[in-house]
Amino acid sequence: MKYIHYQKRLNKNFAIAIIGCLISWSVNAEIGTSLLGKTATVIAPAKTQAATITSAMKEIASVSGQAVIATNPAIAATVVNIDENSFSCIREMTPVRHFYVDNLLGNVEGTLIAANAPEGAKYPAGSVVQLVPTEVMVKRAVGTFPATGDWEFFELEVNEQGSKIAKRGFLDVVNRFGGNCFACHAPAREPWDFVCESGHGCEAIPIDHKMTGALQRSDPRCGEAVPQKGDWMALTKLKTMVAIGLSKQWFEEQF
């Protein structure tokens, strides 16, 4: 029993360290001690991202009435208010295949209908979609930002005390690897309403379901971790991938 208790504590502490890496690294001279901010987003080529964002901006310009709403945060915030208290333990949300959903306006049923629609569907306002504890996309009110389908993207810092919003926005949220969130989700625009899954047109992410599952079961906001067989190995593999990826990026930027 003592061994089992020790192993649970070890798994939890290791997972918290991994998630800490996913939210706290910076690519600089301190790369040896600071690892990662996010891993579950693939970096599209810079030219592809730029083209996607440029196209989106043209769409905004062509929808003048809606663009006024899109560029006015005060108007957008009157329907779906979002702050750090909007996000909590990922496992308290409703699981759908390998990710979790919720609805900040209480319409969880509507969100589930869209998430489970075999041919795709528009998510209702207030929908929350989350794959790992540090990444979230939230559906704002209709017309808030047409180019992104009214989705706002968030990067979170999470710990046992709760969530902190590190970044938020529509077109310009860039993860710590330099990948633009909107550009990555844009291929799933129709008919999947920008939600990426296998077969939705998005680039494959570099981590597998074992890794994302291990991160979900280790969300520090949930209290005690609930590890499954293989989680320790998945987190170890993830940590190795993070270190290699950041080292490669640092050398490319320096030389």
In this prediction, residue 51 carries a pLDDT of 55
What is the strand order of the sheet 162-169 is part of? 94-96, 99-103, 127-130, 135-139, 151-159, 162-169
State the Cα–Cα distance between residues 150 and 147, nearest whole angstrom.
7
DSSP letter string over 80-109?
S---GGG---GGGSEEETTEEEEETTS-HH
In this prediction, residue 179 carries a pLDDT of 72
**Are 6 and 19 in contact, with CB atoms under 8 Å apart?**
no
In this prediction, residue 247 carries a pLDDT of 84
Radius of gyration of the chain (CA): 18
**Are 153 and 137 in contact, with CB atoms under 8 Å apart?**
yes
The tens digit of pLDDT for each residue in 98-154 reads 999 999 999 999 999 999 999 999 999 999 999 999 999 999 999 999 999 999 999
The structure tokens listed for 242 are 């993070």
In this prediction, residue 176 carries a pLDDT of 64
Q: pTM for the complete prediction?
A: 0.71
Q: Calculate mean pLDDT across residues 3-11.
A: 44
CB atoms within 10 A of CB 181: 26
Confidence at 182, pLDDT banded by 50, 70, 90: very high
DSSP letter string over 191-250?
TTTT---TTSSPPPPSS-HHHHHHHHHT-GGGSS----TTHHHHHHHHHHHHHHHHHHHH
The tens digit of pLDDT for each residue in 190-223 reads 999 999 999 999 988 778 899 999 999 999 999 9
Stretch among 172-176, 201-205, 232-236 having the lowest mean pLDDT: 172-176
The tens digit of pLDDT for each residue in 17-35 reads 444 444 333 322 222 222 2
Helix 209-217 and helix 231-254, axial crossing angle in degrees, nearest 10: 110
Greater confidence (51 vs 8) lies with: 51
The tens digit of pLDDT for each residue in 31-74 reads 222 223 333 333 344 455 555 555 555 454 344 334 434 445 54
State the Cα–Cα distance between residues 120 and 239, nearest whole angstrom.
34
Confidence at 242, pLDDT banded by 50, 70, 90: confident
Tokens 């296998």 found at? 198
Greater confidence (84 vs 50) lies with: 84
In this prediction, residue 178 carries a pLDDT of 65
In this prediction, residue 152 carries a pLDDT of 97
State the Cα–Cα distance between residues 52 and 50, nearest whole angstrom.
5
At 68, which helix (H) or strand (E)? helix 64-70
Confidence at 252, pLDDT banded by 50, 70, 90: confident
Burial class (CB in 10 A: 0-12, 13-18, 19+), 219: buried
